[in-house]
Amino acid sequence: MNLFAEALAWLSDGANWAGSGGIPARIGEHLWVSFLAVAIAAVIALPAGLLIGHTRRGVGAIGALTGAARALPTLGVLTVFALWLGIGLAAPLVALVVLAIPSLLAGAYSGVQAVPRETSQAARAIGMRPAQVIWQVEVPLALPVIVGGVRAAVLQVVATATLAAYTADLGLGRYLFTGLKTRDYGQMLGAAILVIALALLLEVGLAMLQRATSARLTAPATPEPSHTTATT
């Protein structure tokens, strides 16, 4: 039996789909850890990115910071935090947050920075406060780029969240580590197929969301019908 046949046999085995350690439960854990990491990173990165894009100050420093953060090896970061925080979810969660921040930060500040100055100045001219300019003018116009940053962050985190099983017994990565220990390579390939399928599904959904936000900006306004009164 070749490796792909073993993977298909593992995926089609009903016993692997039941219980707290079954595939549906592991997928749920994988998604929960991924979305939690992206949510924490968004709380940190999005406000900072919006402020930098609005003021156009500190862009060079942010570019250097995001480049340095992307260069960090996630497994190395995870190992360092695991030695510090111990076994459990905390270490992989911190590592995934660090992984997600650069894409979210870059998407937020580049999207807002791309809004024409004239548009922001016109909003100020009609009496809008800085916070109103950001949330009512710049963020709606920058939304496709911001969603693009979220899309990149989610895909990176979902693909890397298998490392959570390095220090915690959860997620699809558990099958990879278990398969490696027991030399069950069919299980490892089956788990890898699940991660790929999950990432592709999220990619399709987020790509549709990004296109929808872009289409909303480019859709022409529907003119209101004019009412004319006939005179005699």
Q: How far is CA 140 from CA 4, 42, 63, 104, 145, in A?
A: 46, 17, 23, 16, 10
Name the residue among 2, 1, 18, 7 with its Cα closest to residue 176.
Answer: 7
Radius of gyration over every alpha carbon of the chain, rounded to an integer in angstroms:
23
- CB–CB of 7/193 below 8 Å? yes
pLDDT for the residue 1: 57
Residue 177 has pLDDT above 50, yes or no: yes
Name the residue among 141, 146, 103 with its Cα closest to residue 119.
Answer: 141
**Identity at 29, one-letter amino acid code:** E
**φ, ψ at 140 (rounded to 5°):** -60, -40
d(CA 81, CA 92): 8
Name the residue among 16, 7, 57 with its Cα closest to residue 185.
Answer: 7
Residues 41-79: tens digit of each pLDDT: 999 999 988 888 888 776 677 767 777 767 777 777 777
Under the banding of pLDDT at 50, 70 and 90, the label for residue 18 is: confident
pLDDT for the residue 33: 93
CATH H superfamily, domain 3-217:
MetI-like (1.10.3720.10)
Residues 156-165: tens digit of each pLDDT: 999 888 888 8
Under the banding of pLDDT at 50, 70 and 90, the label for residue 190 is: very high
What token pair was written down for 94?
A: 């911190």
Name the residue among 230, 85, 104 with its Cα closest to residue 168.
Answer: 85
Task: Check residues 36 and 170 and name the one with the higher pLDDT.
Answer: 36
Burial 9-21 (b: 16+ CB within 10 A, else e): ebbeeeebeeeee
Q: What pTM was computed for the model?
A: 0.84
Name the residue among 123, 130, 148 with its Cα closest to residue 212.
Answer: 148
Residue 192 makes CB contacts below 8 A (sequence gap 6+) with 176
